[in-house]
Each structure stands twice: as structure tokens, then as C-alpha cells.
Amino acid sequence: MSWRIICTTIKNTLRHILKKLIGFIRSTIRYAYNKAYTNKLPIDYTVPFREKPEFIYLTEREVDKIRNHRFSEERLQRIADCFMVQCFTGLAYVDLKKLDAGNIVIESDGLWLNINRQKVQTSEMVVPILKNVKDLLLKYNFKLPVISNQKYNAALKEIAKEVGINKKLTSHVGRKTFGTLLLNKDVPIETVSRILGHADVKTTQRHYAKVLHMKIAKDLRLISF
């Protein structure tokens, strides 16, 4: 069991204990108030749990809006090209930045991207290079013009505004978009997990739970009894 899993388990256990403890204290105070042992009822306290971040991804139509758009500034065009590579490879920002020709593997069935994920050193991404990605890599001689993460995300906001996409674009949205596109194309989740370089399929299920639920609902609507 990895330290990451152990730490997550400990954190969730402590949260559960804290929630139970506050519930017990609240019940005790209410009991005292109902018995007239006190005439004051303190304000209810709640455990400040952090909300899960919103799952943001682009639809295939939104991806095409960016891919087919010619931007007003060359600077934005370069960032849009980098973002399209993310949308069709699933690379995280840190892996996109270090991508070069050394990560390209030539096989009998075409070109493949092979990269060890920096975030999870034990995980490896093996992704087939589609024609549109190959064209972009050739355009920049296999070294994409990736700028700092902060400036990259700021430029993505400008891109979204120019093409008319009302979503908060970040570098991570590109990776989420790729995983979502694969699942919507009926690629098995085990394959998606392998392509994205997740440590195990449970990680993929957790990150893409919303997409999986939506896909199940869509599939069920096609069934008639």
C-alpha cells in the first residue's frame, strides 16, 4: 500500500471521527437546552469539508471550435496548439512541457507517445499519436512552445473568450477532455486508465465518476424492453 493511499485513509478516518464527535456534542447541548439546564442554544457548528472541484471538460464540438479557429494573435495560436495536443493525448502540463522527440516511438502500426509521468513516477503513458497531433508536433519540431503554467492558464482564458466557450479553461481541462472523449467513444475504462497513466483503474473511476454516470444513463435510454 502506497503512502498516498495510507495518508488518504488516515485523513478520511479523522474526518469521520471529528464529524461524529461534533454530532455528539451538538446532541448533548440540545438535550441540556430541552431540559432547561441552559437557556442558551449555541449556533450549530458544521465540519468545514472541502468541496470537490468541478469536473470541467470540453465536448467534441467545443474542441473543434478551438482546433478550427484562427486566432487574432500568434501567441494565442501557439497556446491553442499546445492545448489541442493535451486534448488528444491526455498529457498533464508538466509532462507536456518536457515532451520532445525522445518520447516518440515508431511502431509498425504508427507513432506512439511513451512518457513516464512526473506526477506518478511509477506510471507510464503509452498513447497512439493521431494525425492532428503528429502535424502539431512536426510544426514545432517535436518541442512545443509551452510557457509557464500561470501564463498558460491565463492565455487559455483568452482563448475561451475568443472562441465563445463559457468554461474556465486550464491546462488540466485538456487532460480531462481526452479521458472524456475516449469514454464517450466507448473505449473500455481499463484502456483509458492505461493510456492516461493512472496508478490503477480505481483512480480513473474516481476522477471520471460523473462522466461514467452520464454514459450509463445515455446507454440505458437506448434500451427498450
Task: For the domain covering 60-221, report its CATH number.
Answer: 1.10.443.10
d(CA 142, CA 225) in angstroms, rounded, equals 52
- d(C-alpha 136, C-alpha 142), whole Å: 8
Q: What residue segments make up the domains of the chain, in order of their start?
A: 1-50, 60-221
Over residues 37-84, the pLDDT tens digits come to 776 665 544 545 555 667 889 999 999 999 999 998 999 999 999 999
Q: What is the pTM (predicted TM-score) of this model?
A: 0.70
- The tens digit of pLDDT for each residue in 158-206 reads 999 999 999 999 999 999 999 989 888 888 888 888 888 887 788 787 7
